[in-house]
């Protein structure tokens, strides 16, 4: 399943790029909004790793389905950061694109698993 290793790499690289951006948040939001965003990305990566190493397809799907909700929560946190002027338009666009890319890879993985029931 090398194509699903890509979603692991995408998520890891996204987290690696996001951390320095979140470190620049002002103190009043660094320990609230930035920590929440970082935790969500960590959770997504953890869920992908757990699903990748799970053998049973039903269990794999059960691990992956809640990731959509986490990605949606992350989208709203990123949007809030942009609305509060913590992220400029360019950063907001880059981050949103990467989240959508990860979501698309997740959707493809779930479709693959559903087709193989």
Contact (CB, 8 A) for 82 and 74: no
| 41 secondary structure, DSSP code | H
What pLDDT does residue 115 have?
A: 87
Alpha helices of 24-34 — where are they, by DSSP H?
Answer: 27-29
Instruction: Give per-residue pLDDT as tens, 7-62.
Output: 999 999 999 999 999 999 999 999 999 999 999 999 999 999 999 999 999 999 99
For the cut 90, the answer to whether the pLDDT of residue 3 exceeds it is no
Task: Determine the Cα–Cα distance for residues 53 and 32; give it in Å rounded to an integer.
Answer: 32
What pLDDT does residue 66 have?
A: 96
**Sequence-separated (6 or more) residues with CB below 8 Å from residue 4:** 52, 105, 109
Contact (CB, 8 A) for 114 and 69: no
> What size, in residues, is the chain?
117
Query: In order of start, what are the domains of the chain with their CATH numbers?
Result: 2-115 (1.20.1440.60)
């Amino acid at each position: 399943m090398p194509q699903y290793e890509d979603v692991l790499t995408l998520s890891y690289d996204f987290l690696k790029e996001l951390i320095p951006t979140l470190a620049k948040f002002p103190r009043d939001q660094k320990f609230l909004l930035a920590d929440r965003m970082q935790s969500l990305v960590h959770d997504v990566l953890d869920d992908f790793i757990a699903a990748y190493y799970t053998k049973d397809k039903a269990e794999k799907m059960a691990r992956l389905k809640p990731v959509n909700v986490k990605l949606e929560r992350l989208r709203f946190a990123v949007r809030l950061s942009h609305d509060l002027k913590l992220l400029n338009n360019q950063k907001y666009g880059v981050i949103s694109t990467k989240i959508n890319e990860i979501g698309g890879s997740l959707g493809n993985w779930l479709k693959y698993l559903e087709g193989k029931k």
